[in-house]
Amino acid sequence: MITTAVIALLLPPFLVTNCWLYLLGYTGVWRTWFPASIYSPWGTVWILALLTWPITLFLVSGAWQRLEASQLESEPNLRGWRLIRWLLLPLAAPALGLAVVLTMVVTFNNFAVPAILQTKVYAAELWVSFSTTFDYGAVVRLSWPLVAAPILLLLFLNRRNIPWPASEERVSPRLLRAQLGEGWFWSCAGITAFLIFVSVGLPLGQLLGTSQTWMAFPKAFAAAKPALQSSFLFAFSASVVSAAIGLLIWRWRLGHLLWVPCLVPGVLVGITLIF
């Protein structure tokens, strides 16, 4: 499940958006029995949620791994909803708050999904304004919210212990499942299976399960081979440079400021580099 959540987090936004355009676009195959257009604010929210739900999963999972077996064994009547209300939710509350703030910053600065769905958002409007006027001064004046959001996030995270899933388990899964109850367990399992299906299964199924993909792939690979080689070269070089910089400055107290260019929209970084 964790591996599938990582895949959901790393899928290209245009791939997921293209899948839902195929299903719920103006001529989508699901429109006959589900008359909802993906070209709407709610459609944008839906796709952004499919791309970012693993953030909450990772943080909450890391928080719940601090659960001790003694906390469950000391009170046998702490089961079902009472277990969730009095133990699991309080334990995950800081992680949930962090997940909400981090997801909000990531989606606030997302450019690709709203642009494809023709939804007006601040990052997209900033790019449209720049591409028509090439006014760098206006970009500086208008882009402060896109930079302020990551900075506020870093201030929020300062000196906080960020939970993250670990390989070791403090509580036996059987014990937690017994305390939680079959009803809650299978309900959560059903929601998880649904999320994995709509966020990973449908996009990859449409991509890999269509015969046109495999028929067009050899020609596309031959035509775009130089571009594909460049993509791998750029990605590999960027990862090596990033790792080297991280090894050199990991002791610096101000190193966390480098999260700012990671969290601001790529379009804003591009405009800055053009200038």
pLDDT given for residue 236 in this prediction: 95
pLDDT given for residue 209 in this prediction: 79
pLDDT given for residue 264 in this prediction: 81
The C-alpha atoms of residue 176 and residue 61 are separated, in whole angstroms, by 13
Whether 102 and 153 have beta carbons less than 8 Å apart is answered as: yes
The C-alpha atoms of residue 22 and residue 30 are separated, in whole angstroms, by 8
pLDDT given for residue 273 in this prediction: 82
pLDDT given for residue 57 in this prediction: 92
The C-alpha atoms of residue 12 and residue 231 are separated, in whole angstroms, by 14
Give the residue ranges of the chain where pLDDT is below 70: 158-160, 163, 166-169
The pTM is what?
0.81
pLDDT given for residue 141 in this prediction: 77
Whether 52 and 103 have beta carbons less than 8 Å apart is answered as: yes
pLDDT given for residue 233 in this prediction: 93
What's at 160, amino acid-wise? R
Q: Among all chains, which residue has been given the structure tokens 């001529």?
A: 27
Per DSSP, 87 falls in state: I
Question: Going by C-beta distance under 8 Å and a sequence separation of 6 or more, which residues neighbour residue 198?
Answer: 50
The C-alpha atoms of residue 241 and residue 74 are separated, in whole angstroms, by 51
pLDDT in tens, 176-209: 888 888 999 999 999 999 999 999 999 998 888 7
pLDDT given for residue 168 in this prediction: 67
The C-alpha atoms of residue 184 and residue 167 are separated, in whole angstroms, by 24
